[in-house]
Structure 1
Amino acid sequence: MLRPHTQFKLQILSLAVAASLSPSLVAEEVDDAGLQDQPSYMMNQVVVTATKTENNLATAPASMSVISSEEIQSRPHTALNDIVAEAVGVESMKTGGRAGRELISIRGMDSKYTMILVNGRKVSSSNAIIRGNDFDYASIPQDNIEQIEIIRGPMSALYGSEAMGGVINIITKVPDNEWRSSISGDYSRPTSGGDGGAEFMIGLNSGGALIDDELYMNFSINKSARDAWKPFDGDRSGVTALEERDTLSLSGGLNWLINDRQTLDFDVSYSNDEREGLIESTINHNPTDQKVKRNSIAITHGGEWDWGDSQLRYSREEVEIGEYDFGKFNRDYVTETNNAVDGSVTTEINSHRLTLGGEVRKIELDNKRDLLSTGNARIQEQALFIQDEWSLNDDWMLTYGTRVDNHEEFGTEFSPRAYLVNTVNDKLTVKGGVGKAFNAPTLLQLSEEYRLSSRKGTAWIIGNPDLKPETSTSYELAMNYQEENWMVEAAIFRNDVDDLIMRDFDNLLGIIDGREAFTYKNVDKARIDGLELGGRINLSSTLSLKADYTYIDAMDRTNNQKLTNRPQQTLSSTLDWKATNKLNTFVKASYQGKQVISHSDNVDVDGYTLVDLGVNYRHSDDLRFRAGISNLTNKSLKHEAETRGVTVDPRTWYVGFTTDF
């Protein structure tokens, strides 16, 4: 697993790999602007998320995307979902009934199957926040991000539950002996239609050596706020298409190089996220007021030994959500606490690189609002995994392994995976694999004392301790080919999902407090087939083009209907023009194909296209500016979609800057 203090070493390794693939291009780029300005569309990065060990992106045993800090700074982003939506196969989808909140979907899978990691450490509040949970995405200061690695496809074989759709690993910046700091600021505002919607963000990142070559420190702070956007008239004038939000996130760390072989890292973070809005549904308008505080710490020991590498980590995360009850005129608080110890060792034996590891996690939930008897629930999970990266010869690499998870309630779950990579030559790589993954029921779904208001307040949903995990079997075949100034990649995949957890409205449990009561059940099956295509090309020394296309055929196999809120086709194309040595401009067009919103009342959305324009200006080595317009044509969706939470952000202009010192 990547240890934070080793990231600068990976950059050096990345340069070496890139030089072996395209010497003339890399030499030119390094001469002009140094390592940081290598073209991100070339497959020359080093990644760690697919195996917890270092691999080249082109030959990593998974379909992956990488987003650099430079790409993040070239556009304004509110949270993680805005950033990763740039990657092929990744969608940031509006969630019904939560005033513009967006959740991350990978390859057509539900957002709950996307695992979020920070330096390989799980970030999750899935037991505490049950509706519209995008709070995990806003808890990481963007100015502290060095690189984001995205795995498109299940990875339960390494990471367990919640990795059934894919993994997003956020790798943070690491200081060196020279103290460096940067400040970024952004401001945006809708250009027409309605009131409000203005947004700003300011961020600071600073780090360097407290003791040269021994002790390093880094800290970041981000503050952002958005006015509620109210674009409607008449009796809808108070409805917030985009809710008001106010977010503060901080993180810091100490990296101690004990000696040439051992390190000790201490990380701490805090975030405070507040949201308010008036939500429009198909039958009424509902106010919402939520506050989420998150505290986390992690202590990590890393070792490099004669026999291999090791890592041992303790982490703790506490998430408190306070939701205002407009009926009782008070605020209900729910707290989720995760304590985890995890570790791994890696060693090489002949042509095998073996990684063994495990984790023990204790989850505690304090929820007096929904857990009516005891007011709390807790569970302990433990897991072991083993992985072998077997170099069959110079051209073939087989990565295989399994993870076994043990859960107090549903027992034991195995997640085997095998992936074969063929380096046909120094330009072409072909790879593919098969794997099994799972997603565990939440603590609330498993608790009989849990009671959730449903059907617009006319029914209750009760927990079911007999629920089984949702499981999937996935298959994929992928390739990538690269020349000095262009590359293409393609993948086909299938994901068969079984035992989906759904609300069982077919079987009435009884009447509780005047409402009908139902529960959850494992019943539904789904199949998602898809195709991904991507390409990058330098059309000239100043002009470059990138394009990504995804086709998704997502079917509910229980009733043979298309899964909702999944566009069948998406296409994104960006043309970048380096007008001068200091000025870059771009135009981006993105197409969302037709999608079904609701089967019950036959609502769908036809395909539509959004256009963005932007400029990035480097005033000096230490000062950069950006400006642009998103949704240039001010595209909007029909009212039937908006009342179900599916909207498009209005035409918006933005300006921003980043300065280093």
Structure 2
Amino acid sequence: MAFQKKLLAVAIPLLSTGVSLNAAAQPTELDEIVVSASGSEQKITDAPASISVVNQEALQQNQYSNLAEALETVEGVDVRQSTGKTGGLNISIRGLPSDYTLILIDGRRQNAPGGVTPNGFGDTSTSFMPPVSAIERIEVIRGPMSTLYGSDAIGGVVNIITKKVSDEWSGSVSLEHTFQEHREYGDTGKTSFYTSGPLIEDTLGLAVRGSVLDRSASDITFDDGSEAPKRGVAPVDGRNSHIGARLSFVPMTGHEFYLDAETGRQVYNNDECQLGTLDGRTRSCEPDTDDEADGYSDELRFNRDQLALGSNSRFGFGTWSNDLTYNVTETKGRTLPGPFGEAYDPPYQDLIGGADRELESKDTVLDTKLVSPLGNNHIATFGAQYRDTELTDGIAGTTFEQSSWAVFAEDEWYLRDNLALTLGGRYEDHDAFSGHFTPRAYLVWNTTPAWTFKGGVSQGYKTPEISDLHDGINGVTGQGDTITIGTPGLEPEKSTNYEIGAYYDNLNGFKANATVFYTDFEDKIDSGTSVTINGDPNIPDGTYDQLDNIGEAETRGIELASSWQFAQDWSVLGNYTFTDSEQKSGENRGAKLTNTPEHVFHARLNWQATDQLDLWLSGEYRGERTRFTKVKGEYDDEEQAIDNAVGDLDAYALFHLGGAYQASDKVTLTATIYNLLDKDFLSGASYTYDDGGTQETGWASDYIYQNRGMAQGGTIEQGRRLWLSATVEF
């Protein structure tokens, strides 16, 4: 029976495109249907991967400033490892750093080269997100998926599935605002809209989406009276805007072409050096004592423009999809560090201190995929990808370029009607190093209508950043004080994931699942020893920081989740994640790989009070985080003093109370009190240490590691606050 159902799913046209004019083709239980684990739609329990889904209802009932916040309650996902300089969050899956999570929209790659947002601004990538009203659901694959999606899918994949163009004109407008009880935290307001419908009945359709988020600056102080750092913890005022449109053309039944365009803009204030040290001549936050440029202007902007063209066709032999995506990402407001008006040493004499630093990436990706039943027991997926990337960094005085192509194939083989084995592999050829092959194998066994067991082995990989392979200067760190150079011989980072899971559904309102995983991480790119250059024609003489393939690590854990409809109007759901990690090589051998807490728990109680009113109470617990990802005993004097005073980052529990009221057929009002008990995150302790014979004092937070002015380890949650939202449909 399972195989016949899957064949029917493959026969439905345009399953994973998000651009069909046929609203009637929507599955009836979207929260149980996924498309990211293979080439066609299937139930979560049948998918050859560990997948979680954030459905449309959950998205509408909560406040989100970025993609990471939307995934905060997903098992195996941690978005609180650190806080980026702009106050955004990153997405870590199964204890791996956030760099190893691939972001997709309707299956199209969104990750830009990390070198375009250097020095702690990578969190801006999760803020380029369609408005919630345009999203059907978000699928999260926990574990490597490089066989289908290529580089960066080493820890997991997040796929945003957007709504299909409607066959009748409809839409919505949402207004929302967050009111802080403690006024030192900044309020946030957001306006968003989505509309879609036919331009020519059954032939041409249009969807338009947009949003604007405004955030006021926070100005908080710790319990000792010291000011919380503006780089992430007390975020600056900023604006995040997004607008996009999709044109869908169906010339005949079963064949669709689409054109999608969008633009995103983020603007953040830096007039008091909140995000980076201002250049000396314009400095307002420090004494104007030098004519030195330190790399930052008084406003930082992060821009993204994307154009996508694709087709989705159904033939007698299967479904064929093609996507061409052109993505331009840009950082503005950075400058070239160094004495004003002075040229760099040869061969970089064209670079002038204080000049604007150009940071722009251009990424072109061509994807093609065919899903086809073969015989009576096989569903095959064949595909290819070509990618061309350019990164311009003014400090390198050149444009980095690289290209790659890949072919992949998977076969979902039904050994029995209730037993499916998926075998797949991907070969990628990269112009900077030799080819790389990535396999995976996964078994799904529906033992009874109530029980499903599944597990497998999969590999992931991540190619080095385009700038990291450059033979020459490729960046600057330390507020303009330290120059970095590339390492042409870097190899891809790799992971191998082993997992086994059990899923239970009593078919009467109770569901539960458990997954055990182990990940072996190899060839991690990390800071190597400093190198001294003398006589190199590409690099001025000096000592530089450089990356190398030096890291090996392991992560392991358990993921539990369940939901129970225990009465007609009452339900409860929750999940628990245990995660452990260990660095297996390098100077920090034996230490944690990341500061992901070992224990994380989420729970939510839902009550449908009336036909119009839903209420809920949710809670979360996050265990202690390691403060330093290095071996104890290897701390410097200040780190040891901090550890003696406050130890690891503290565990905490939070509760939230919310409700949604259907005021009319077209109007929905939603309200949530976050941090219901007003948990305080501003506590800490003072410490003293010896600095070369001088006694120095400092103060350390219980919840963040103040990493000497850089992006912050850990996170500080805001105090009690009220989020209100009104959505009007038309």
Q: Same fold (TM over 0.5)?
A: yes
The reply to whether residue 475 of structure 1 matches residue 501 of structure 2 is no
Per-residue deviation, residues 298-332 of structure 1 (Å, max 9, x unmatched): 11111111111111222211111113349666642
Give the superposition deviation at 1:635: 2.9
Aligned counterpart, 1:5? 19
The reply to whether residue 228 of structure 1 matches residue 217 of structure 2 is yes
Aligned counterpart, 1:251? 244
After TM superposition, the structure 1 stretch with the greater mean CA deviation from structure 2, 646-655 or 595-604, is 595-604
- Equivalent position amino acid for 2:156 in 1: G
Aligned counterpart, 2:117? 129
- Equivalent position amino acid for 1:588 in 2: S
Per-residue deviation, residues 523-581 of structure 1 (Å, max 9, x unmatched): 11110001000111112122211111000011111111122321111011111122222
C-alpha distance in 2, partners of 1:626/1:642?
35
SS at match of 2:247: strand
Q: Is the 8 A contact 1:296 1:318 kept in 2?
A: yes
Aligned counterpart, 1:109? 96
C-alpha distance in 2, partners of 1:85/1:97?
16
Q: 1:555 to 1:446 in 2, by over 3 A?
A: same
Q: Is the 8 A contact 2:245 2:261 kept in 1?
A: yes
C-alpha distance in 1, partners of 2:505/2:21?
25
Of 370, 387, 390, which residue of structure 2 is paired with 1:364? 390
The reply to whether residue 654 of structure 1 matches residue 718 of structure 2 is no
C-alpha distance in 2, partners of 1:497/1:308?
36
Of 51, 61, 64, which residue of structure 1 is paired with 2:48? 61
Q: 1:5 to 1:405 in 2, by over 3 A?
A: same
Give the superposition deviation at 1:95: 3.0
Aligned counterpart, 2:691? none
The reply to whether residue 267 of structure 1 matches residue 260 of structure 2 is yes
Q: Is the 8 A contact 1:49 1:169 kept in 2?
A: yes
C-alpha distance in 1, partners of 2:23/2:442?
27
The reply to whether residue 540 of structure 1 matches residue 567 of structure 2 is yes
SS at match of 1:332: coil
Give the superposition deviation at 1:198: 0.9
Q: Is the 8 A contact 1:155 1:437 kept in 2?
A: yes
Of 473, 486, 503, which residue of structure 2 is paired with 1:463? 486
After TM superposition, the structure 1 stretch with the greater mean CA deviation from structure 2, 418-427 or 454-463, is 454-463
After TM superposition, the structure 1 stretch with the greater mean CA deviation from structure 2, 239-248 or 207-216, is 239-248
Give the superposition deviation at 1:9: 6.5
| TM-score normalised by the chain length of structure 1 | 0.90
Of 196, 209, 229, which residue of structure 2 is paired with 1:207? 196
SS at match of 2:91: strand
Aligned counterpart, 2:346? none
Aligned counterpart, 1:343? 368
C-alpha distance in 2, partners of 1:311/1:2?
9
After TM superposition, the structure 1 stretch with the greater mean CA deviation from structure 2, 599-608 or 58-67, is 599-608
C-alpha distance in 1, partners of 2:577/2:327?
35
C-alpha distance in 2, partners of 1:225/1:431?
45
Aligned counterpart, 2:599? 569
- Equivalent position amino acid for 1:583 in 2: L
Per-residue deviation, residues 78-122 of structure 1 (Å, max 9, x unmatched): 111111112111111253561532100111111111111011000
Aligned counterpart, 2:660? 616
After TM superposition, the structure 1 stretch with the greater mean CA deviation from structure 2, 628-637 or 312-321, is 628-637
Give the superposition deviation at 1:457: 4.6
After TM superposition, the structure 1 stretch with the greater mean CA deviation from structure 2, 62-71 or 462-471, is 62-71
Aligned counterpart, 2:3? none
The reply to whether residue 423 of structure 1 matches residue 446 of structure 2 is yes
Query: Which structure shows the bigger proportion of residues in strand conformation?
Result: 1
The reply to whether residue 120 of structure 1 matches residue 107 of structure 2 is yes
Q: Is the 8 A contact 2:97 2:594 kept in 1?
A: no
Aligned counterpart, 2:579? 552
Q: 1:330 to 1:186 in 2, by over 3 A?
A: farther
C-alpha distance in 1, partners of 2:540/2:491?
29
SS at match of 1:4: coil
Give the superposition deviation at 1:420: 0.3
C-alpha distance in 1, partners of 2:143/2:660?
33
Structure 2 alignment gaps of length 5 or more: 1-14, 277-284, 287-293, 341-353, 685-699
SS at match of 1:562: coil
SS at match of 2:249: strand
Q: Is the 8 A contact 1:459 1:515 kept in 2?
A: no
SS at match of 1:595: coil
Of 159, 162, 178, which residue of structure 2 is paired with 1:188? 178
Of 423, 434, 438, which residue of structure 1 is paired with 2:461? 438
Per-residue deviation, residues 460-493 of structure 1 (Å, max 9, x unmatched): 3211000001011110001111122110011000
- Equivalent position amino acid for 1:192 in 2: H
Q: Is the 8 A contact 1:97 1:643 kept in 2?
A: no
C-alpha distance in 1, partners of 2:24/2:441?
26
Identity level (%): 26
Per-residue deviation, residues 174-225 of structure 1 (Å, max 9, x unmatched): 122210010011101321162x511111001000011111111101010101
Instruction: Name the larger-Rg structure.
Output: 2
Aligned counterpart, 1:33? none
SS at match of 1:5: coil
Where does 1:139-218 land on structure 2 (aligned, <5 Å)? 139-142=128-131, 143-192=133-182, 194=184, 196-218=185-207
C-alpha distance in 2, partners of 1:406/1:108?
28
C-alpha distance in 2, partners of 1:650/1:9?
40
Aligned counterpart, 1:301? 311
After TM superposition, the structure 1 stretch with the greater mean CA deviation from structure 2, 133-142 or 544-553, is 133-142
Aligned counterpart, 2:521? 497
SS at match of 1:319: strand
Q: Is the 8 A contact 1:460 1:515 kept in 2?
A: no
C-alpha distance in 2, partners of 1:145/1:410?
38
C-alpha distance in 2, partners of 1:368/1:71?
43
Aligned counterpart, 1:29? none
Where does 1:12-31 land on structure 2 (aligned, <5 Å)? 12=26, 14-15=27-28
After TM superposition, the structure 1 stretch with the greater mean CA deviation from structure 2, 630-639 or 434-443, is 630-639
Per-residue deviation, residues 202-249 of structure 1 (Å, max 9, x unmatched): 001000011111111101010101011110276637846123220110
Give the superposition deviation at 1:650: 1.3
After TM superposition, the structure 1 stretch with the greater mean CA deviation from structure 2, 174-183 or 629-638, is 629-638
Q: 1:155 to 1:97 in 2, by over 3 A?
A: closer
Q: 1:436 to 1:326 in 2, by over 3 A?
A: closer
SS at match of 2:489: coil
Where does 1:47-58 land on structure 2 (aligned, <5 Å)? 47-58=34-45
Per-residue deviation, residues 124-180 of structure 1 (Å, max 9, x unmatched): 223412333122222222221111111011000111110001111111111222100
Q: Is the 8 A contact 2:264 2:303 kept in 1?
A: yes
- Equivalent position amino acid for 1:199 in 2: T
Q: Is the 8 A contact 1:595 1:606 kept in 2?
A: yes
C-alpha distance in 1, partners of 2:668/2:83?
37
- Equivalent position amino acid for 2:176 in 1: D
Q: Is the 8 A contact 2:134 2:209 kept in 1?
A: yes
SS at match of 1:561: coil
Q: 1:537 to 1:238 in 2, by over 3 A?
A: closer
C-alpha distance in 2, partners of 1:66/1:136?
21
- Equivalent position amino acid for 1:316 in 2: Y
SS at match of 2:467: helix
Aligned counterpart, 1:25? none
SS at match of 1:596: coil
Q: Is the 8 A contact 1:546 1:573 kept in 2?
A: yes
C-alpha distance in 1, partners of 2:355/2:366?
37
Give the superposition deviation at 1:497: 0.3
C-alpha distance in 1, partners of 2:74/2:22?
24
C-alpha distance in 1, partners of 2:317/2:25?
24
- Equivalent position amino acid for 1:546 in 2: L
Aligned counterpart, 1:589? 619
Q: Is the 8 A contact 2:328 2:363 kept in 1?
A: yes
C-alpha distance in 1, partners of 2:529/2:128?
35
The reply to whether residue 77 of structure 1 matches residue 70 of structure 2 is no
Aligned counterpart, 2:436? 413
C-alpha distance in 1, partners of 2:661/2:307?
38
